[in-house]
Amino acid sequence: MTDTSGPLLAADGTPLKKRLAQAMFRSRARAFGLAFPLIAFIIVVFILPIIFLLWQGIYDARYSRLMPTSTAAMADWDAVSPPTEEMAAAMVADLVKARENKTIGQVATRVNRELSGTRSLFTKSARSAKKMEAPYMEALIKKDKDWADIEVWKAIKIASVKYNPGYVASALDLKYNADGSFERQDEDRRIHLMLFWRTIEISFLVTVFCLILGYPVAFLLSTLPTKTSNLLLILVLLPFWTSLLVRTTAWIAMLQAQGVMNDLFVVFGLATDEDRFSLIYNKTGTLIAMTHILLPFMILPLYSVMKTIPPSYTRAAKSMGATNWTAFWRVYFPQSVPGIGAGALLCFILAIGYYITPALVGGQDGQMISNIIDFHMRKSLNWNLAAALGLVLLVFVLFLFWIYDRVVGIDNMKLG
């Protein structure tokens, strides 16, 4: 090939690529038109809300929007030297405005999140801010001596940062300081990393249990005659016909101290009546119930891959002198790996964000990260922290995808 040879030309002299693009345009446009409603729907109800919510994990303009003057005044403060009169004046001006606009509650809540106990400080000071006169710092301290505490001003400084790394830091058990540095959270307040770790641990164990339980089932399904295997497949899918809540509560009936399993253990002498196993409201309960619920997601991709492995491979291996185990391990198993990859990834990713089951049967040590996200969404109303936790989880899952792609190869995965 030489550089002098120009592009291929169509019969009328236009470049072939251009002609082809023109010819393809109509069919492409039609295909896009057909897919457009769905694409729009997904963007509007799925992608945009996720982006907006996750955005809150790193962006919090509540303080800076409602208290613009003090935000500007504090921007250059080094958080070490004493608060200046200028900062106090800006604060008073903003407090007056916030009271007029009835937004002081929001401001107080925001600062209170950084330093608890500051809510009343703000609401109280705002009420009398209008009457305050210079020097403002003294006026503020006269109203409440807490204004003399530099920690209060540090908290305000943190709250005033718009692009705020504090939430992500706190999701990772770090503390974001007013001077822009990070330090580890106090020992008794480090819970998120532990929860992340436990979430990964539970997800990993559930995936492994699903694989151990699901592999033989999928193998059986793929080798049985179609009539029988279809019937069994319906049994595998049967749980999908009942509500997730029903299935989870069924486990409560099964596993609780006075439940079916423990009664059987007592009958068979594996446990005494006084000393029953605690199988639920702990990590064990979460593991058992989640394994049961996620099992079909392992079986189905495995089955669809195993279905495509012709029995002649194992037969060929055996005819060449391989024992059943060698034929399985060296010939059958490697070909089922794409199914294992797909099933494991599916189970793991579903498990990592699992919420209802751990909430119902997890007790204290069976809680996962999604439960704390839920807590911040509905109870503490700290949506920013919830979003930051979600963001960390998302980044972690994407990282796992990347690792998976490097190790196994994403196109080596078959979902059926």
Partner 1 sequence: MADSVSNDAFVEFERVQKSYDGETLVVKDLNLTLPKGEFLTMLGPSGSGKTTCLMMLAGFETATHGEIRLDGRPINNIPPHKRGIGMVFQNYALFPHMTIGENLSFPLEVRKMGKSDREAKIKRALDMVEMEAFVNRRPAQLSGGQQQRVALARALVFEPELVLMDEPLGALDKQLREKMQFEITHLAHSLGITTVYVTHDQTEALTMSDRVAVFNDGVIQQLAPPDELYEAPQNSFVAQFIGENNTLEGTVKEIKDGIALVQLDDGELIDCKPINVSKPGERTRVSIRPERVEFNKERLQEGAHTLKAEVLEFIYMGDIFRTRLRVAGNDEFIVKTRNAPDQVRLEPGTQIEIGWLPEDCRALDA
Please report, as ranges, the residues that interact with partner 1 according to CB under 8 A. Answer: 310, 312-313, 315-324, 326-327, 330-331, 334-335
In 3D space, the residue among 115, 85, 118, 116 whose CA is nearest the CA of residue 104 turns out to be: 118
**Residue number with CB closer to partner 1 (27 or 312):** 312
Contacts of 322 (CB under 8 A, 6+ apart): 330, 331
**Residue number with CB closer to partner 1 (56 or 222):** 222
In 3D space, the residue among 209, 222, 195, 196 whose CA is nearest the CA of residue 344 turns out to be: 209
In 3D space, the residue among 328, 281, 302 whose CA is nearest the CA of residue 213 turns out to be: 302
Specify the DSSP class assigned to residue 309: S
Q: How far apart are CA 198 and CA 193, in angstroms?
A: 8
Provide, rounded to whole angstroms, the least separation between the CB of residue 210 and partner 1.
24
**Residue number with CB closer to partner 1 (269 or 321):** 321
Contacts of 377 (CB under 8 A, 6+ apart): 383, 386
Q: How far apart are CA 105 and CA 344, in angstroms?
A: 48
In 3D space, the residue among 157, 134, 149, 148 whose CA is nearest the CA of residue 74 turns out to be: 157
Provide, rounded to whole angstroms, the least separation between the CB of residue 50 and partner 1.
38
Q: How far apart are CA 200 and CA 42, in angstroms?
A: 29
- Residue 18 is which amino acid? K
Provide, rounded to whole angstroms, the least separation between the CB of residue 319 and partner 1.
4
Backbone angles phi, psi at 82, to 5 degrees: -60, 150
* DSSP H helical ranges for 307-381: 311-319, 324-326, 333-352, 356-361, 369-378
Confirm if 336 and 306 have CB atoms less than 8 A apart. yes
**Residue number with CB closer to partner 1 (255 or 327):** 327
**Residue number with CB closer to partner 1 (20 or 316):** 316
Q: DSSP readout, 48-104?
A: HHHHHHHHTTTB--HHHHH-HHHHHHHTT--SSSPPPHHHHHHHHHHHHHHHHTT-H
Provide, rounded to whole angstroms, the least separation between the CB of residue 326 and partner 1.
6
Provide, rounded to whole angstroms, the least separation between the CB of residue 303 and partner 1.
19
Centre a 10 Å sphere on the Cβ of residue 377 and count the other Cβ atoms it contains.
Answer: 17
**Residue number with CB closer to partner 1 (163 or 325):** 325
What's the distance, CA 231 to chain centroid? 36
Confirm if 58 and 167 have CB atoms less than 8 A apart. yes
**Residue number with CB closer to partner 1 (223 or 249):** 223
**Residue number with CB closer to partner 1 (13 or 321):** 321
Provide, rounded to whole angstroms, the least separation between the CB of residue 311 and partner 1.
9
**Residue number with CB closer to partner 1 (131 or 227):** 227
Q: How far apart are CA 272 and CA 296, in angstroms?
A: 35
Provide, rounded to whole angstroms, the least separation between the CB of residue 414 and partner 1.
13
Provide, rounded to whole angstroms, the least separation between the CB of residue 317 and partner 1.
7
Provide, rounded to whole angstroms, the least separation between the CB of residue 322 and partner 1.
5
Provide, rounded to whole angstroms, the least separation between the CB of residue 54 and partner 1.
40
**Residue number with CB closer to partner 1 (324 or 380):** 324
**Residue number with CB closer to partner 1 (55 or 313):** 313
Specify the DSSP class assigned to residue 147: G
Provide, rounded to whole angstroms, the least separation between the CB of residue 314 and partner 1.
9
In 3D space, the residue among 292, 275, 272, 283 whose CA is nearest the CA of residue 363 turns out to be: 283
